[in-house]
Amino acid sequence: MRFAARMIVIACLAAAVLVPAAAAADRMWVGFQDDPMFRWDPQRMEAMDQARGNNARIVRTVVDWSRAAADRPANPTNSFDPAYNFGDVDELVRNAQQRGMEVLITLWGTPNHLDAHLREAREGGLHGSEEGERDRAGRDRRDVVARP
């Protein structure tokens, strides 16, 4: 009787440990981040092939927003605006997609034209917004933007 009880406990413990690990395996993506190699190196295609050969499912890259949008675009919502410099990022995304990998893009930095805009907002209000003008959450717009 004790042997059967021990076996049941061991089986339950094994199931508790093994089932969650097996269920999470589909969602566990392995990948790489190597901007110099994947974006600018002359051997970047071979590096991407090697990453995929090592079962990478995702590639992460950091885009320096102050370089990608150094000049204020005429139409900021148009990703094809000539002020944007996405050439190497576009190539990285295409290379990853051709190999069945996803891309995680992290934006970093603030372009100078936005820094100036934020300074202006802190000093004199936001785009002429009136005192008491509220955002969707009911907060005063000037308080939300002007906060350092």
In this predicted model, what pLDDT tens digit does every residue of 45-91 receive, in sequence order?
A: 999 999 999 999 999 999 998 889 888 889 888 989 999 999 999 99
Q: What is the mean pLDDT of the chain?
A: 78
Q: Residue 15 in contact with residue 7, Cβ under 8 Å?
A: no
The predicted model scores a pTM of 0.61
Highest mean pLDDT among 9-23, 82-96, 109-123, 128-142: 82-96
The whole-number pLDDT of residue 146 equals: 40
Residue 117: the pLDDT is 66
What are the φ/ψ torsions at residue 76 (nearest 5 degrees)?
-60, -25
Model confidence at 29, pLDDT cuts 50, 70, 90, reads confident
Q: What does the pLDDT read at residue 9?
A: 59
DSSP string spanning the chain?
Answer: -HHHHHHHHHHHHHHHHHHHHHHHGGG---EE--HIIIII-TTHHHHHHHHHHTT--EEEEEEEHHHHT-S--SSTT-TT-TT---HHHHHHHHHHHHTT-EEEEEEE---HHHHHHHHHHHHH-STTPPTT-B-TTS-BHHHHHH--
* pLDDT > 70? residue 111: yes
